Structure 1
Amino acid sequence: MGDACGALKGAGRQLRRWVLGRCAGAVLLPVSTWAGERGVGAYPPNRRTMRSPTVRRFLECLMGLYFLTHIPITLFLDLQMVLPEELYAVEFRNLLQWYAGEFRDPLVQDPPEWFQSFVFCELVFQLPFFPIAAYAFFKGSCRWIRTPAIIYSVHTMTTVIPILSTLLFEDFSVGGGFRAQGPETLPERLILVSVYAPYLLIPLILLLFMLRNPYYRSEEKRKKR
Structure 2
Amino acid sequence: MGFVTAAADAVVALLSLTMAVAAPLFDAQVVLPRGLYAAPLVGIHRWFAAEFGHYLVADPPPFFRGLVWLDLAFLWPVCVANLYGILARRPWSAATSIMAGVYVLTYMSAIFGEMLGSGRTTPKLIQLYVPFALAAVTAVLRGFCSCSAQATAVASHAPTARKKRL
TM-score (norm 2): 0.83
Q: Which residue of 22, 25, 39 corresponds with 1:73?
A: 22
1:216 aligns with 2:147: yes
| C-alpha separation in 2, matches of 1:98 and 1:190 | 17
Q: CA deviation at 1:58?
A: 2.6
Taking only the aligned residue pairs, the percentage that are identical comes to 25
In structure 2, the partner of 1:196 is 129
Q: CA deviation at 1:210?
A: 1.9
Q: Which residue of 117, 130, 144 corresponds with 2:92?
A: 144
Give yes or no for contact 2:94–2:142 (8 Å, CA) kept in 1.
no
Give yes or no for contact 2:78–2:99 (8 Å, CA) kept in 1.
no
1:94 aligns with 2:43: yes
In structure 2, the partner of 1:6 is none
Per-residue displacement from partner, 1:24-71 (whole Å, max 9, x unpaired)?
xxxxxxxxxxxxxxxxxxxxxxxxxxxx12321232122222212322
In structure 1, the partner of 2:67 is 118
Q: Which runs of 5+ in 2 are unaligned?
A: 159-166
Please, what is the CA RMSD of the aligned residues?
Answer: 2.1
TM-score (norm 1): 0.63
Higher relative contact order (CA 8 A, sep 6+): 2
Larger radius of gyration: 1
- Counting matched residue pairs gives 155
Q: Which runs of 4+ in 1 moved over 4 A?
A: 220-223
Q: Which residue of 99, 104, 107 corresponds with 1:159?
A: 107
Give yes or no for contact 1:153–1:203 (8 Å, CA) kept in 2.
yes
AA paired with 1:74?
Answer: A
Q: Which runs of 5+ in 1 are unaligned?
A: 1-51, 173-182, 184-188
Give yes or no for contact 1:64–1:136 (8 Å, CA) kept in 2.
no
